[in-house]
Amino acid sequence: MGYNLSKKGLDISPSVTLEITAKAKEMRAKGIDVISFGAGEPDFNTPENIRKEAIRAIEEGLTRYTPASGIMELKKAVCDKFKRDNNLEYEPENIVISNGAKHSIFNALMAILNPGDEVIIGVPYWVSYPELVKIAGGNPVYINTVEENEFKFTVKDLERVKTNNTKAIILNSPSNPTGSIYSREELEEIAKWAVENKVFVISDEIYEKLVYDDEHVSIASLNDAIKNLTIVINGMSKAYSMTGWRIGFLAANKEIAKVISNIQSHTTSNPCSISQYASVVGLNEDQSAVEEMRKQFKKRRDYMVEVINSIDGLSCRKPKGAFYIMVNIKELKGKVIKGVKINSSLDLAKVLLDEGKVAVIPGIGFGDDDYFRLSYATSMENIEEGLRRIKIVIES
Ligand SMILES: Cc1ncc(COP(=O)(O)O)c(C=O)c1O
């Protein structure tokens, strides 16, 4: 129509993954039995004590505006969580509660970026990072990582892309989509570099509870200098299976937290009051539901890694955290499967959907066309059947 729309808005890329998920949905609506490996959320119900507390909050009328940056009870529970899990000392003034971790990341970027500031992002990345940086007026700068180094970047990489405009790096450990975890030693080197170069670190730790082999270390816990430059992002979505409740939180130096709180007060105001009260219980009470979920994920991961590596043309490493596996498809590129020449991850995803009735997320959505991503946030039954179908199509 030729509307004169905002450059900012027009610069936002539509999600590449949407095409596949929309098609899978359409097929399902037609009654076709599609198995999806696309889920970005745990398939478990929110623990009962959290659900009950939400009902109590509604019944007792805790349904009004709260302070814009969150209720004091939840900020205190978040401080206790950081102390208990990450050995990090914060006070409620360091904490901002938002509408999901994505919103926390957005607020953090809005608080630190000026036009033209650069934010370093490792590839493959979580789909929203580049777009969030752009909306906040910054420029994403990419580091291509390799599978041999578990898709992790190093200080050498940071040195290579550093400019006078480098303002922040986004660190995501455990990672979506790779499941990689940065070790304490790797984080120490990155922290030293960030402090020397006065670069902020946005540390997205939303998958911290879903680690299977290594320990999770928060970069902010290494020393005070890096703590002051780090905005730690976390939330209820993945650990407590609360994706729809929309509670994320961040911890930052008080000066930064204040600016973030001001931004939030004029945009969304407080996150849902009911979800906030329920989250207090989630953080403070028995954590056995989280551990039970972690065990289930580990079992699924181990099974999937074994089966994927037994399929001709596919391979993967054992991811250490989150609930995703990046499957290497390099061997299949250029080959013909079911009459379709596979030139890209999207080509393969389409063949798997059309011929196998299996939805996978093409790696191009995460910036790396040599892979597709499988999520194991689905039942063991679905996993077994889905992998069986993938094998049949690919080995056909
Ligand atoms: C790496 C990463 N960060 C943040 C989020 C957003 O979490 P939330 O639902 O709390 O906004 C996700 C969700 O998929 C994620 O994968």
Give the contacts of 203 (CB within 8 A, at least 6 positions apart).
Answer: 171, 173, 218, 219, 220, 230, 231, 232, 233
Is the shortest distance between the CB of 193 and ligand 1 below 6 Å?
A: no
Cα–Cα distance, 137 to 119 (Å, whole number): 10
The pairing of beta strand 118-123 with beta strand 166-172: parallel
Is the shortest distance between the CB of 275 and ligand 1 below 6 Å?
A: no
pLDDT on residue 1: 65
Cα–Cα distance, 350 to 362 (Å, whole number): 9
Give the contacts of 19 (CB within 8 A, at least 6 positions apart).
Answer: 346
Give the contacts of 157 (CB within 8 A, at least 6 positions apart).
Answer: 143, 145
What is the whole-number distance in angstroms between the Cα of residue 236 and the centre of ligand 1? 10
Instruction: Read off the pLDDT of residues 12-37 as tens digits, 9 standing for 90 and up.
Output: 887 777 778 888 889 999 999 999 99
* CA proximity to 121, closest of 73, 175, 164, 80: 175
pLDDT on residue 14: 78
Q: Per-10-residue mean pLDDT for the chain, 396 residues long? A: 87 78 90 93 95 98 98 98 98 98 98 97 96 96 98 98 98 98 98 98 98 95 98 97 97 98 98 98 96 97 98 97 98 96 96 97 95 96 98 95
Q: For tokens 């922290």, what's the residue? A: 191
Quick one: which atom of ligand 1 is closest to the CA of 175? 1
Is the shortest distance between the CB of 320 and ligand 1 below 6 Å?
A: no
Q: How many C-alpha atoms does 155 have within 13 Å on its Cβ side?
A: 13
Is the shortest distance between the CB of 122 and ligand 1 below 6 Å?
A: no
Cα–Cα distance, 71 to 132 (Å, whole number): 26
Residue 160: helix, strand or coil by DSSP?
Answer: helix
pLDDT on residue 20: 82
* CA proximity to 108, closest of 216, 9, 205: 205
- Sign of torsion over alpha carbons 109, 112, 113, 119: negative
What is the whole-number distance in angstroms between the Cα of residue 77 and the centre of ligand 1? 20
Is the shortest distance between the CB of 237 and ligand 1 below 6 Å?
A: yes
Instruction: Read off the pLDDT of residues 202-219 as tens digits, 9 standing for 90 and up.
Output: 999 999 999 998 899 999
pTM, full prediction: 0.97
Residue 390: C-alpha distances to residues 26, 73, 323, 342, 354 (Å): 20, 48, 19, 15, 11
Are the beta carbons of 137 and 165 closer than 8 angstroms? Answer: no
Ligand 1, pocket-test mutation among 46, 126, 324, most atoms within 8 A of CB:
126
> Using CA positions, which residue lies closest to atom 13 of ligand 1?
40
Quick one: which atom of ligand 1 is closest to the CA of 99? 11
Are the beta carbons of 122 and 145 closer than 8 angstroms? Answer: yes
* CA proximity to 377, closest of 50, 21, 36, 15: 36
What is the whole-number distance in angstroms between the Cα of residue 302 and the centre of ligand 1? 23
Is the shortest distance between the CB of 40 and ligand 1 below 6 Å?
A: yes
pLDDT on residue 337: 97
Cα–Cα distance, 250 to 79 (Å, whole number): 10
Q: For residue 203, which phi and psi values (nearest 5 degrees)?
A: -105, 100
Are the beta carbons of 182 and 220 closer than 8 angstroms? Answer: no
> Using CA positions, which residue lies closest to atom 7 of ligand 1?
101
Neighbours of 164 (CB within 10 A): 5
Is the shortest distance between the CB of 128 and ligand 1 below 6 Å?
A: no
Is the shortest distance between the CB of 101 and ligand 1 below 6 Å?
A: yes
Is the shortest distance between the CB of 199 and ligand 1 below 6 Å?
A: no
Ligand 1, pocket-test mutation among 237, 246, 326, 373, most atoms within 8 A of CB:
237
